[in-house]
Amino acid sequence: MACNRSRVEVKSLVAAGICWIVFPFLGHDLAAQTVAAPAPPATSAKPTPGEASGDKNQSDTKNAPSGSVKPSGSNKKEKAPAFTRVDLDGKGDPRALQTAVARYRISSGDYEGAIIDLIGAVHIGEKAYYEELNDRFKGYDVILYELVANPDDKPRKGRERRGINPVGSIQTGMKDSLKLAFQLEEIDYSPKNFVHADMSPEEFGEDMARRNDGLVSMFARIMGAGFATQGSKKNAEAQADMMAAMLSGDALKMRRAMAKQFDSMDNQMAGLADKEGKSTLLTERNAKAFEVMDRELKTGHRNIGVFYGAGHFPDMHARLLRDFNAESMGIEWLDAWDLRNGAIK
């Protein structure tokens, strides 16, 4: 009985941790923003999907470590790819937690030829990862960014966020435990090409009230999705690893154990949806982001990055294919967490 209770507590902590890593939704004083971005087309010297990019930046279409990228066509029922993964070295040991930069091309209609990059964000990561993102963002016409806040209230790079609120305490604890950095402290949101593409706090609160949603009910749905798979051997092993890592206090062990949890993130995030398949936190914020994207496309921008938590991307993938006649052009992978032996000095 005690063992089962411990497993529930571990699962609760992991689910909470993934939520706060993947979904920054309470404004930048309460939020912590999961990984990557490909090079914009033509305007940057960075490799584009399909070009050789070395060990760190890898491109593929089927989640293979490397390979040439070919358009997958405009199948509007095409299954969404994985947007996070644990990359292994030649010995099968974990090397890095990676997030995807997934490229899409609008193939017909008024916006034909426009490139949309879904740039996955883990909201706690390596400083070097955020430095690379800052460099890559310069080549886009527009970067649509995620943050429940007033549009003019941009986060300030370098501002260390400490607070006594529960969310801030979770974020600070995870950052310190994993020996990583906060996205909102490292990403430079000041450039003119950064455009807010998320709900305001008022819109967020109104939508939650309209669908009688709340943090407790959303968390309960995520937990339910997790419990549905807890009997699997893979899930049981992941829980055991997480418990051992937490008890050890070893930052690298905790990184590796938590990185494994991202393999089941799609199931966890699917659990956010209500009986109509919608949720304020995920689908309705995505709808808001796509309203802003449509507006930017109408102004003539044809090279757009969408910088959002990777958990939002299966739904965004479906929207791009269904509503924008887009075709997926491949994925580039960037390292968000270093998982190698000796990574933490």
The mean pLDDT value for 34-55 works out to 36
The mean pLDDT value for 113-117 works out to 98
pLDDT band of residue 326 (cuts 50, 70, 90) is very high
pLDDT score, position 250: 86
pLDDT score, position 65: 31
Q: Give 242-275 pLDDT, tens digit per residue.
A: 677 666 778 999 999 888 877 666 555 655 666 6
The mean pLDDT value for 99-115 works out to 96
Percent of the chain residues past pLDDT 90, beyond the cut: 40
**Count of other CB atoms within 10 angstroms of residue 79:** 8
pTM for the structure as a whole:
0.76
pLDDT score, position 116: 98
Range with the largest mean pLDDT of 74-83, 144-153, 159-168, 187-196: 187-196
Q: Give 169-219 pLDDT, tens digit per residue.
A: 566 677 888 999 988 889 999 999 999 999 999 998 888 888 776 666 666
Percent of the chain residues past pLDDT 70, beyond the cut: 60
How high is the mean pLDDT of the chain?
74
The mean pLDDT value for 327-337 works out to 96
> For residue 257, which of 8, 13, 5, 6 has the smallest C-alpha distance?
13
